[in-house]
Amino acid sequence: MMNEINAQSNYNQYPFYNGELGLIYSKKNSSFRIWSPSAKEAQLLLYKDGENGQPFKTIDLTKDINGTWHTTLTGDWKGKFYVFRVMINSKWNNEIPDPYAKAVGINGKRAMVIDLKDTDPQGWVNDKSPAFSKYNNAVDAVIYELHVRDAGIDENSGIKHKGKFLGLAELGTHSKEGLATGLSHLKELGVTHIHLLPFFDYASVDESKPDHQYNWGYDPLNYNVPEGSYSTNPYDGITRIKELKQMIETFHKNGLRIIFDAVYNHTALTEKSNFNQLVPGYYYRHKQDGEFSNATGCNNETASEMPMMRKFMIESILYWAKEYHIDGFRFDLMGVHDIETMNIISKELHKIKPDIILYGEGWTAGDSPLPDSLRALKKNAWELNGIAVFSDDIRDGIKGSVFTAKDRGFVSGKLGMEESVKFGIVAACEHPQIDYSKDNYSKHAFAANPGNTVTYCECHDNNTLWDKLALSMPDASVEDRKAMQQLALTIVLTSQGIPFLHAGTEFLRSKNGVENSYKSGDDINAIKWSLKKENIDVTNYVKQLIKIRKEHPAFRMTTAKQVAENILFDQHVHERTIAYTINGAALKDKWETIFIAFNGSDATKEFSLPDGHWKMAFDRGAEIEPASGKIQLKKYSAAILYKD
């Protein structure tokens, strides 16, 4: 219903508060401040428990400057729980935890007064992010996308704290087949960054019964607090923080960096969200009729362009980066956010961590009232500073559209996908040999530099690559599909841009054909560690590819100019194949020239090698005939050769 409070124009007249909001704690006193310009009264309620009982103290907040309400309580309030409520239109809204809360009790219902110093595990002050390459450019990263619970919940994980932050901090774990699992597996694989699906406090899983539901966690409840179901004690506000920090510290000690999955584009609740109970309507975009707009497909979309929402996002992200030593952020449905906010976030984060990695989904799940030209969409990627976007062009070029199960891609023999894969090989940069009109989606180079592009073929969304190959190639043999999977991963790990792998792809992870497994449970989602033994050849293959990528700057160019000048495609290859050379010498690579060939067809194909004596670096089903300057590639296979 349209009324004065819901009219977006009115929100622009709300005052901006520039200071610190929420709780400021010391042993001598606790100060509380909320921003609620439309409230007529506001209260702070204190509880002894995180969910039950009556408040033992209720304090009327004093109206203060710029739409804020405030009180200071003398004494040490550590360990007490608190909520706020405000009166709007003569009615008390629901009690809500502090939107800025840094600690909460069970299920995030009430905020908790804590001293953040109590949350630091031993050695935290000396925790340091490991280097991930000589120059720590974003393209030097190899990102691995994992869900906290999926990593260890399988009975064969050998992990003690299954499904918990602490489980991912266990070293030396192995399956009953004797192969490394969890953190030890990640180290062995050689990836540099672990992107964990949401580990802020989300709404969908009852933290008191974490084994009763499953969720990926894209349903934000308390933005500045870790999720309780991943902790060993979700009732105590300190435990989840401390255990998450312990996990991060262990990652860092073992050479791995951590990426936070940021979901600021919507809130799990709409009318009843923390934001909306304090300041009805303000934090969201609205349609012309005053209803909540829904570009996220999750009932609402936040309004990053509104000054107090922008402030919230920036402060929240900086808090995670500083307090939890986060090394990168992945922005869910980044196309919802405005470009200006994203660039401020990037600038502030790079100030505190110059080698931080930022990337996001340059799309939305529906229409937004904020014009396209203002939002962080893939087509506007050139306006984003130091933030990459996912390339769905190469993702679907490799394996077929995620929206049509039966659709095939380059690795499964579909005709006409060569240009979409080549578009990905050059990381969506300008290249003189690409016919952009034949690219599946973009039709133009969207990246200013390779670091603006995330190169991938699979993530937590949609079918796993292994399931996609089975659904789209039902008559192909397992051996052939294995070859296709390896070809796909070879393309990802040799292409320019920031490579991104979905957990378990290195041993043919399946979700039994479930397309959207966001709440499917452990049966579908858990990493089944016995697969590693079954497909150890694929795991070793991927490990070798990662090693080659990390050793060779030729696969990690940093400028579009380098890409245009040093990659040369063979324009005379058979259909369903791609071949190109990289001028390694120009990139200070120890391999003077590199020759890469992909055969996505179902028959052996012959490729002509450029002049000279070539050595085989890596192959899957290639036969070289050096005398003739030809190389034969079996169906669905790849080869990397070099001259030194």
CA 89 to chain centre: 40
Q: Tell me the closest approach of the beta carbon of residue 164 to Ca ion, in angstroms.
A: 14
Residues that bind Ca ion (CB under 5 A): 201, 228
Q: Tell me the closest approach of the beta carbon of residue 101 to Ca ion, in angstroms.
A: 12
Q: If you write DSSP's letter for every residue of 36-89 in order, what string do you get?
A: -TT-SEEEEEEESSSSSS--SEEEEPEE-GGGEEEEEEES--TT-EEEEEEEET
Q: Tell me the closest approach of the beta carbon of residue 360 to Ca ion, in angstroms.
A: 23
Tell me which of 361, 396, 419, 619 is the catalytic residue. Answer: 361
Q: Tell me the closest approach of the beta carbon of residue 606 to Ca ion, in angstroms.
A: 57
Residues near 413 by beta carbon (within 8 Å), at least 6 away in sequence: 473, 576, 600, 601, 602, 636
Residue 332 annotated to the active site: yes
- Please, what's the b/e burial string for 612-641 (b: 16 or more CB within 10 A of its CB; e: otherwise)? eebeebbbbbbebeeeeeebbbbbbbbbbb
Q: Tell me the closest approach of the beta carbon of residue 277 to Ca ion, in angstroms.
A: 18
Instruction: Kindly tell me which of 210 and 499 has the beta carbon lying closer to Ca ion.
Output: 210
Q: Tell me the closest approach of the beta carbon of residue 227 to Ca ion, in angstroms.
A: 5
Is the separation of the CB atoms in 226 and 177 below 8 Å? no
Cα dist from 82 to 57, 234, 237, 323, whole Å: 10, 16, 12, 22
End-to-end CA distance of the chain: 71
Instruction: Kindly tell me which of 150 and 506 has the beta carbon lying closer to Ca ion.
Output: 150
- The pairing of strands 143-146 and 193-196 is parallel
Instruction: Kindly tell me which of 220 and 386 has the beta carbon lying closer to Ca ion.
Output: 220
Tell me which of 207, 227, 249, 332 is the catalytic residue. Answer: 332
Instruction: Kindly tell me which of 228 and 553 has the beta carbon lying closer to Ca ion.
Output: 228
Q: What's the sign of the alpha-carbon dihedral 604, 607, 612, 616?
A: negative
CA distance 175 to 595: 38
By beta carbon distance, the residue nearest Ca ion is 201
Instruction: Kindly tell me which of 266 and 431 has the beta carbon lying closer to Ca ion.
Output: 266
Q: Tell me the closest approach of the beta carbon of residue 247 to Ca ion, in angstroms.
A: 17
Residues near 627 by beta carbon (within 8 Å), at least 6 away in sequence: none
Residue 145 annotated to the active site: no
CA distance 252 to 131: 9
Residues near 329 by beta carbon (within 8 Å), at least 6 away in sequence: 259, 260, 262, 317, 320, 321, 345, 349, 356, 357, 358, 359
Instruction: Kindly tell me which of 223 and 614 has the beta carbon lying closer to Ca ion.
Output: 223
Is the separation of the CB atoms in 578 and 588 below 8 Å? no
Instruction: Kindly tell me which of 201 and 327 has the beta carbon lying closer to Ca ion.
Output: 201
Cα dist from 577 to 67, 287, 382, 570, 643, whole Å: 63, 48, 30, 10, 22
CA distance 625 to 619: 14
Assigned token pair, 488: 């796909």
Instruction: Kindly tell me which of 201 and 338 has the beta carbon lying closer to Ca ion.
Output: 201
Q: Tell me the closest approach of the beta carbon of residue 113 to Ca ion, in angstroms.
A: 19
Catalytic annotation, residues = 332, 361
